[in-house]
Amino acid sequence: MRGWIPGVAALLLAMTPAYAQQQLSAQQQSEAEQIKARQRISMMEGVLERAVSNGAESMMRQFKTVSPELPMLTGLPEARGFRLDGYGVFFDVEVPALRLPVTWPLRMLYRDSTNRVIDDLRPLMVDLDPRLREQILQVVRRDQSGSNVFAATSPGPDAVVAAQQRDPATQTIDDPEVRYTQEVKSALIDAMIENSLPLSLGADEWLTIAARDNVPHDPLIPGDKADFSTVIFRVKGGDLAAYRAGRITIDDVRKKVEVREY
């Protein structure tokens, strides 16, 4: 017995450095995996920020067809991501608000006034030759735009039509803020579908994006209530994997993206 105890002690002492080295290696490997996971999330943050910028640029291109004075954004998009155990990956995306040119309401007022005059004239000219009727309407448009203080800098109807013919996807903007929201939504959905592979989501995990306005509360205006809006996008990892494997199309996976607005 006395000889056995020192032998066991010696064996334990011999095993201690190896065990400690093994624990250190496992810890280093775990830290390396955490760093890689954080880097992947950081890359996705950049992708989502660029997606918001792309949506804004798309809206700006369309806005140019109706006004040379472009809107401004209140800042730059920002995204922050987190992995939530048992759920998936969540991204908080701040979307800069859109500030329209001060001349935009007047421009729309003149446009609506011209349209009303033309609508009133159409029933009165139903019996006229079509070419003569169109000439009269052109004169009305020209006279109305001549009284418009913005006419010198506004693209005319022919310029708008020509722009739309060059790019069928381009449409005249009636509500730039709604179009801006649409473009940003579309860009974010495509970004989460096309760039989510490095996140290594499980089939039952969710990729979630909360896109919200970043308009700050104005402390100098009592009772100021900014029109905040938050849109939640989420899609399951299994649906993303099915798209990457070619089992469903991109249109199919877009339909699987859940969208809720608050």
Residues 95 and 121 in one domain: no
pLDDT of residue 9: 56
What is the signed CA dihedral for 82, 87, 88, 89, rounded to 10 degrees? -30
pLDDT tens across 224-236, in order?
Answer: 444 558 999 999 9
pLDDT of residue 66: 76
Residues 199 and 251 in one domain: yes
pLDDT of residue 115: 54
Residues 143 and 50 in one domain: no
200 vs 210: CA distance, rounded Å: 20
Residues of the chain with confidence (pLDDT) below 50: 110, 113, 144, 146-171, 221, 224-226
pLDDT of residue 175: 82
pLDDT of residue 41: 94
Whether the CB-CB separation of 228 and 212 falls below 8 Å is answered with yes
CA 86 to chain centre: 26
Residues 111 and 68 in one domain: no
pLDDT of residue 254: 95
Residues 50 and 176 in one domain: yes
The residue range of the domain holding 233 is 41-101+172-261
75 vs 20: CA distance, rounded Å: 51
pLDDT of residue 186: 95
pLDDT of residue 137: 61
Of 11, 94, 98, nearest to 60 (Cα)?
98
What's the domain count of the chain? 2
Residues 140 and 237 in one domain: no
* 123: in domain: yes
pTM of the predicted protein model: 0.66
pLDDT of residue 193: 96
Q: How would you write 49-111 as a 3-class SS string?
A: HHHHHHHHHHHHHHHCCCCCCCCEECCCCEEEEEEECCCEEEEEEEECCEECCCCHHHHHHHH
Residues 139 and 178 in one domain: no
Residues 182 and 61 in one domain: yes
